A and B are shown apart, each in its own frame.
Chain A
């Protein structure tokens, strides 16, 4: 059997996970080697992702590379690397014992591999299995501290997402049932490429039912209302570095699966149009999160609710449809990944410094720690949709596309954007400006030479990338995103 290059991106992190699980970690205070290996594996994955970007697109057995998934693979690899670096700088403060440190590092790499597989898979069954593996690995990462709160959060995450992915499997089976009379038995029945090609000849009723199950199932994993309630709990517990990959990558992979389903069902004119359903789920998530944001007292929960808001916005854009709105949706997903993980890095470093993740305990960060404080301020401003970052660009194009096709939807959209933006700017002022609160650093935090600097660099890097994506995206990447938007439809 030939080993294709895209398969290596999946197998490399999984191999790394085995090595990390077998490696002695000491008591987590001294041994920095495992954290360094973790960084090395993530860096090698990024190199591989760049190489695959340069290869010709096509299908390799159960995987495919196309304009839709490669930007997500690339951004995922970048965030994987920066998260590993942030983890290298702060993992000592998590105070893991040997077993927990092994579980944490191995689960991180298993998650990364599953994440790449979910994006790259052509076979929808394989995609489902990949999202399931990513769920199991992230549940383990959330529960790894073993405190009562962590176990409760992980349990809620597990049960709700368990129901979600079970419904998604039912939707996958229904898709095959719809395609079976046309494509016959065997692997093509679940191949995305084959399904898109034959969708217009499949039974529209079965396709519609399949889409409803896939949307509700994967939508639960993407943090869409009304089944979003696992997300704030999961984000508030667990080691700090994993927030970045939970919000930045896991939600994207699930929404990406919805996009693949939309492309299939949207290809049949007689099937239930996916647009209105996506608009409804998107607006519900946006409005619910926009008002919920005002009541948060915990910085990590605040950012988790903001993820629900942004996933809702992206879903809304895909629901509006057409090349412009879909492009805005894709850009929004990528920009949100970069900016949200930057904000989580900064909040994580601040929580280690102040010994608390309550908003009231983190104040005046820009005065006491300017490098970190201004990074957090910029990241929060970017999340509120202020220029010059990419979320401003995508939200602006969303509004323009909505005005062109469904002007009356501007009212709820604008309301959501303003209420959520206001809440985030208010929270930013409380976190970053004003009187500094006293530092109570967690034991072991920032023990590296250079200390806080190492935790701030990933944040700044993400902000620079998010600004570049908006102002000066490379022509190749922009063309790729436009092609991807056409595939979503």
Chain B
């Protein structure tokens, strides 16, 4: 399977689409637009998983695809929208790093993941697997970037969930990965628990310390 065959091209297109949506997430200025972009990313991820199920002949991946679609494209975005309405949040995204700078950092991270993944996998794996891993690592790193550069809890949670989309993309892209359905479901349970935490406790502020530069908060005790 190589460049020019439909199986390869469609898989590449869908994986690239998931990465593109990670960029879209980074430059939205309104929270409801962030949620919509996340829903589209979830739908593309489901399509990517289903396509991998088809080309690998692995029926389990259809289950992963169906769960991803229901949860990430429909249920979680719906819950977050309801929460936005209830909290009456003024719906702009506060960024710790400007949009332009975030996008430059994002491009650098994609470059980094390509430079890390492609050389070390040169010896063994199929071209498709290697490039899928590079795309997946990019999505993971962009999710972390979003968590670091956003100030309110909902954007940070969406950053974490888009990071997790990258993990699922990696897991479905590696041929014959054992327990892939179980692992993706377990990861989803974690995400649902995070969303439930936001909804139940109505957490709206940002997480203070993702790095150690703010250690002085702990001085009190």
> A residues touching B (Cβ–Cβ < 8 Å)?
123, 125-126, 128-129, 132, 135-136, 139, 143, 151, 154-156, 158-160, 162-163, 165-167, 169-170, 172-174, 176-177, 180-181, 184-190, 203, 205-206, 208-209, 225-226, 229, 232-233, 236, 292, 295-298, 301
Q: Does B147 contact A (CB under 8 A)?
A: yes
Closest A residue by C-beta to B220? A297
Considering the chains assembled together, what is the distance between the CA atoms of A208 and B121 in angstroms?
11
Given contacts A163-B147, A184-B176, A236-B221, contact A151 B211 (CB under 8 A): no
Question: Distance in Å from the Cβ of A10 to the closest Cβ of chain B?
Answer: 15
Closest B residue by C-beta to A161? B190
Q: Is the CB of B201 within 8 A of A190?
A: no
Considering the chains assembled together, what is the distance between the CA atoms of A151 and B123 in angstroms?
48
Given contacts A125-B183, A226-B212, contact A170 B140 (CB under 8 A): yes
Question: Distance in Å from the Cβ of A304 to the closest Cβ of chain B?
Answer: 10
Q: Is the CB of B163 within 8 A of A156?
A: no
Q: Is the CB of A298 within 8 A of B221?
A: yes
Q: Which residues of A contact B119 (CB under 8 A)?
A: 205
Q: Does B25 contact A (CB under 8 A)?
A: no
Partner of B124, one of A154, A174, A181, A292: A181
Q: Is the CB of A301 within 8 A of B218?
A: yes
Partner of B201, one of A125, A151, A170, A173: A151
Q: Is the CB of B203 within 8 A of A203?
A: no
Q: Is the CB of B175 within 8 A of A180?
A: yes
Q: Is the CB of B167 within 8 A of A169?
A: yes
Q: Does B5 contact A (CB under 8 A)?
A: no
Closest B residue by C-beta to A184? B176
Q: Is the CB of A129 within 8 A of B120?
A: no
- Secondary structure call for the A interface: helix
Q: Which residues of A contact B175 (CB under 8 A)?
A: 180, 185
Question: Distance in Å from the Cβ of B195 to the closest Cβ of chain A?
Answer: 11
- Secondary structure call for the B interface: helix
Considering the chains assembled together, what is the distance between the CA atoms of A172 and B190 in angstroms?
17
Known interface pairs A132-B189, A155-B153; 14 further A-B residue pairs with C-beta atoms within 8 A, sorted by A's residue number:
A123-B178, A128-B183, A129-B182, A155-B201, A158-B194, A158-B197, A159-B156, A162-B160, A166-B160, A169-B183, A177-B129, A184-B176, A203-B120, A226-B212
Q: Is the CB of B190 within 8 A of A173?
A: no
Sorting the interface of chain B by its residue count into under 10, 10 to 19, 20 to 34 or 35 or more gives 35 or more
Question: Distance in Å from the Cβ of B24 to the closest Cβ of chain A?
Answer: 21
Given contacts A166-B140, A169-B187, contact A206 B207 (CB under 8 A): no
Given contacts A162-B194, A173-B177, contact A181 B125 (CB under 8 A): yes
Q: Is the CB of A151 within 8 A of B176?
A: no
Q: Is the CB of B174 within 8 A of A125?
A: no
Q: Is the CB of B179 within 8 A of A125?
A: yes
- B 165-221 contacts with A by CB, 8 A: 166-167, 170-171, 174-179, 182-183, 186-187, 189-190, 193-194, 197, 201, 203, 207-212, 215, 218-221
Q: Which residues of B contact A162 (CB under 8 A)?
A: 160, 190, 194
Considering the chains assembled together, what is the distance between the CA atoms of A292 and B160 in angstroms?
29
Question: Distance in Å from the Cβ of B35 to the closest Cβ of chain A?
Answer: 18
Considering the chains assembled together, what is the distance between the CA atoms of A296 and B183 in angstroms?
40
Considering the chains assembled together, what is the distance between the CA atoms of A206 and B120 in angstroms?
6
Q: Which residues of A contact B123 (CB under 8 A)?
A: 203, 205
Question: Distance in Å from the Cβ of A472 to the closest Cβ of chain B?
Answer: 38
Given contacts A125-B182, A185-B175, A187-B178, contact A229 B212 (CB under 8 A): yes
Question: Distance in Å from the Cβ of A400 to the closest Cβ of chain B?
Answer: 32
Q: Is the CB of B203 within 8 A of A155?
A: yes
Q: Which residues of B contact A206 (CB under 8 A)?
A: 120-121, 124
Sampled A-B contacts (8; CB under 8 Å): A125-B179, A136-B190, A166-B163, A169-B167, A170-B140, A181-B125, A188-B178, A205-B120
